[in-house]
Amino acid sequence: MKRVKALKGLIGLGFVAALAAPLAATAAERVRVGLAAPGYTAYAPVYAAAELGFYKAKGLDVELTVYRGGGAAQQAMVANAADIINYFPPGMALAVKKGVKEKIVAAGGALTPHGWHMLVRKDSSVKSLADLAGKKIGVTSKASTTDYYALWAANSGGGKAMNIPLGGRGLIPALKSGDIDAAVLWPNLTLRLIEGGQYRSLVNYGKAMKPNLPEVWVAAQSFIDSKPQAVKGFLEAIMKATKHMQENRAFALMFIKKFTGEKKDSTVAVAYEAIIKNATTDGMMDDATLKRSLGLAALAGIKDLPPVDQLFTSQFLPINPN
């Protein structure tokens, strides 16, 4: 009798385990994603993918965190607080040079910095790039996209400026108060401020610069090795969301307006045409564009960066957005 009871107990436990196994197998894979700026139009598809259910369809539980610039997002990855970040190739290459194990896994957003501007106050005495010499330029953080774009502008003017890291939310108050002379800002915040009339564009980076990958997706090597399907699923979900927004203008305009807090429909429309319509849906990039981006690091005195093949992996490319 005892043997029968024991057998029944084992069968019962086996039945429970059989029920639990599918549940465990379908548990969502957690992906911690670090972003570099609040309300950045290029990030709209990243959030739209959640609303549209694309992450869930890939079996992912995506946790999005906005940091005080790309440099801070990179620090989060170093501290093992992020699995994937959106960053700029020069800053990422510098991290790899210092020993961080990570790789670029895909391009993100538009390959050319459409909508990026360096702004000054309307009454500023800074009229040209040459006038930036000795001036204070606000950036989100050191080794961020804004930092390198500020260095590029000052260098193009033939002088040196002082880059002041203030975080994404500190730039406009500092520019307005006169604590800084200029600020490098992203779309569609730039469009809103220019249309407001209090600020003017000193540099339109989308016209002044060649394609240089304003943002790329970077994954920790340990995450690539241990969770390749999660990396692949995340990239496919955001590219699918990008394609959906490109093909569904009404939805895209509504979502961008909600995501950025922009009230003017005209500004939202310009941001959509400049950023979303030009965004990649396959994550592809060429060596020339990546090398051009990495070349900006020299402006900060950074030399001997690792070769491209140590910074980039093509194992997830091209991404299928369908």
Q: What are the beta bridge partners of residue 31?
A: 62
pLDDT greater than 90 at residue 23: no
Are the beta carbons of 217 and 108 closer than 8 angstroms?
Answer: yes
pLDDT at 144: 86
Segment 99-126 mean pLDDT:
95
Amino acid at 31: V
The predicted pLDDT at position 319 comes to 97
Confidence of residue 19 (pLDDT cuts 50, 70, 90): very low
Please, what is the Cα angle at 57 between 280 and 49, to 5 degrees? 40
Q: Confirm if 170 and 67 have CB atoms less than 8 A apart.
A: no
Q: What is the mean pLDDT of the chain?
A: 90
- At residue 251 the predicted structure's pLDDT band, cuts being 50, 70 and 90, is very high
pLDDT in tens, 215-232: 999 999 999 999 999 999
pLDDT at 7 over 50: no
- Split at pLDDT 50, 70, 90, the class of 10 is very low
Give the model confidence (pLDDT) of 130-168 as tens digits. 999 999 999 998 888 899 999 999 999 998 999 999 988
pLDDT, position 300? 82
Model confidence at 192, pLDDT cuts 50, 70, 90, reads confident
Instruction: Check pLDDT > 60 for residue 244.
Output: yes
**Sign of the C-alpha dihedral computed for residues 271, 275, 276 and 277 taken in this order:** positive
pLDDT digits (tens, 9 = 90+) for 275-312: 999 999 999 998 899 999 999 988 888 888 999 889 99
- Which of 19-33, 155-169, 172-186, 259-273 shows the lowest mean pLDDT across its residues? 19-33
| All domains of the chain in start order, with CATH | 29-112+212-310 (3.40.190.10), 117-208 (3.40.190.10)
**In whole angstroms, what is the distance from residue 111 CA to residue 105 CA?**
15
Tokens of 156: 């193009």
b/e code 282-305 from CB counts within 10 Å (16+ = b): bbebeeebbebbbebbebbebeeb
Q: How confident is the model at residue 16 (pLDDT cuts 50, 70, 90)?
A: very low
Given this model, what pLDDT does residue 238 score?
98
Query: Per-residue pLDDT averaged across 90-112, rounded?
Result: 95
pLDDT greater than 50 at residue 6? no
The pLDDT, as a whole number, for residue 21 is: 46
pLDDT for the residue 123: 95
The residue among 9 and 166 whose pLDDT is bigger is 166
pTM score: 0.84
Give the pLDDT confidence score for residue 142 in this predicted structure. Answer: 86
User: What is the radius of gyration, based on Cα positions, of the chain?
Assistant: 23
